[in-house]
A and B are shown apart, each in its own frame.
Chain A
Amino acid sequence: EAQVTQNPRYLITVTGKKLTVTCSQNMNHEYMSWYRQDPGLGLRQIYYSMNVEVTDKGDVPEGYKVSRKEKRNFPLILESPSPNQTSLYFCASSFYSTGGTYEQYFGPGTRLTVT
């Protein structure tokens, strides 16, 4: 079954404790992306990757890191989480071309609370 998986689905942590949210897709998609969703703000892109070893900042990259060592995985790293990073996080993947975007396949979301 074609899918995007994220782990963990729920996480409560404390300020400053490094964490990683994993994302994996089995559709051989080139493009992967992380979004955060906050009430009234919609989805905002954190980082995206157009292929292995190619990553770029989205609209809200501060406080986050990503890596793309393999095509299927795109982990999101919070080196020193702060309470303003409490949010619902989504990973997504799609095919990629320079001619325009394709439909994104979303993971189920990770609800992160930083106290």
Chain B
Amino acid sequence: SQQGEEDPQALSIQEGENATMNCSYKTSINNLQWYRQNSGRGLVHLILIRSNEREKHSGRLRVTLDTSKKSSSLLITASRAADTASYFCATDEKRNTDKLIFGTGTRLQVFP
């Protein structure tokens, strides 16, 4: 079952611009996480936001969570070419915290 759906599927921007990616999910959750994947490599955890949090920051990353709309956004400010990667959201279900469900990802390309 697909819990998280990212939007857009792909995004191309210039260095220095901000990149915003969105994630929508279907059921009540405990946590929502964002991961980054460089081409063909393992995913790297970026940030975790709990269902009782609305916003979280980590360096150039800002994550928001709107549980009423069942959606989250990841903002990367002042993007760099090295930010080029795919970004995935992942959620657990409140009624079944054992499973982590990933979305299909947003592919971000940052041009120098």
Chain A: residues with CB nearer than 8 A to chain B?
A: 4, 33, 35, 40-45, 48, 50, 56, 58-59, 88, 90, 92, 97-109, 111
Contacts and interface: CB of A to CB of B under 8 A. Distances in A.
B44 A106 contact: yes
Contacts of A58: 99
B100 interface: yes
Nearest to B47: A103
Interface residues of B, number: 26
A56 B105 CA distance: 25
**Interface SS of B by simple majority:** strand
Given A33-B100, A48-B99, A58-B99, A42 B105 contact: yes
A104 B31 CA distance: 12
Interface in B60-112: 88, 90, 92, 97-105
A42 B97 contact: no
B41 A42 contact: no
